[in-house]
Amino acid sequence: MLRGFESRPLRHEGVASVQSRPTFYCQGVTMPQQSHLDPSSFFLEGGPVGVLLIHGFTGAPTEMRLIGDYLHQRGLTVSGPLLPGHGTTIEDMNRTPWTAWVGCAERSLTHLRDHCETVFVGGLSMGALLTLYLAAHRPDLPGAIIYSPATWVANRLLFLSPLFKHLIPSRPKPGESDLTDPEAELRLWHYDENPLFAAHELLKLIRQVRRLLPQVICPLLVIHSTSDTAIHPTSAQRTYEGAGSSDKELITLHNSGHCLTVDSEWEFVAQKTHEFIQAHR
């Protein structure tokens, strides 16, 4: 969950708008920050169509579990891996290069393909970056789902992480959340601080993915919210426009925060995800 690098735009209430155009288990020993939640990977066995769901920066598969359960109840096989350096300690995360996150995503995709005939990939925030990375290198993907893509972030402090990381190992996250559902925070496992060595690795991944966007040619669904304070307000639109896909759709929400997979409109997000998969399976 990408918090601590955000701005505070105004919120807008309203309905969603749409713009269109024609497990592998990777975790170590866990030390939960939210004791009521388990940050471990999950694998929900279903039918021959699979979905890989990748969580965000400093978060855990709990971010993707509601969407995963919704899809599994409709017959899909769902994998939600725990990325390296997550679900353990800040120190672990500060020792993890961005290539380890990519490697975990690639192995998770291979593992799910061994179980399913067709596999889609979706990801939230940094998980969206990893999804785009996979899509750029796997043009045979039947489709990719991008939630709150961190391709452009709100606060320029992230770009100072190469300097700050040598001064302090981590930076506290803000107490205020952009989530609109009071219960949403209870569905999330995440670190309470942003590890700055890892933030620099996130920056490296962002730069890689921006360059790769024209190579993303599979069908693409992008979902974001105007109430998101973690990514730049234009991030989803720029990601949508930069992707090389000819078959792509952009959905804009107005009553969800950055982690829209667990917030007030999560069921609408899950429904649109399922519709996209059904249309492209």
Is 125 an annotated catalytic residue?
Answer: yes
Alpha helices by DSSP H, listed for the chain, are 62-72, 90-94, 98-115, 126-137, 161-164, 196-212, 235-242, 266-280
What DSSP state is assigned to residue 242? H
Q: Name residue 248's beta-bridge partners.
A: 220
* Catalytic residue (choose from 92, 178, 228, 263): 228
Is 17 an annotated catalytic residue?
Answer: no
The C-alpha angle 32, 33, 35, rounded to 5 degrees, equals 65
* Catalytic residue (choose from 79, 108, 125, 245): 125
What DSSP state is assigned to residue 268? H
- Compute the residue count for the chain: 281
Q: Name residue 184's beta-bridge partners.
A: none
Q: Does residue 54 sit in helix, strand or coil?
A: strand
Is 228 an annotated catalytic residue?
Answer: yes
Q: Name residue 171's beta-bridge partners.
A: 194
Looking only at Cα atoms, what is the longest distance across the chain?
Answer: 50
Active site residues: 125, 228, 258
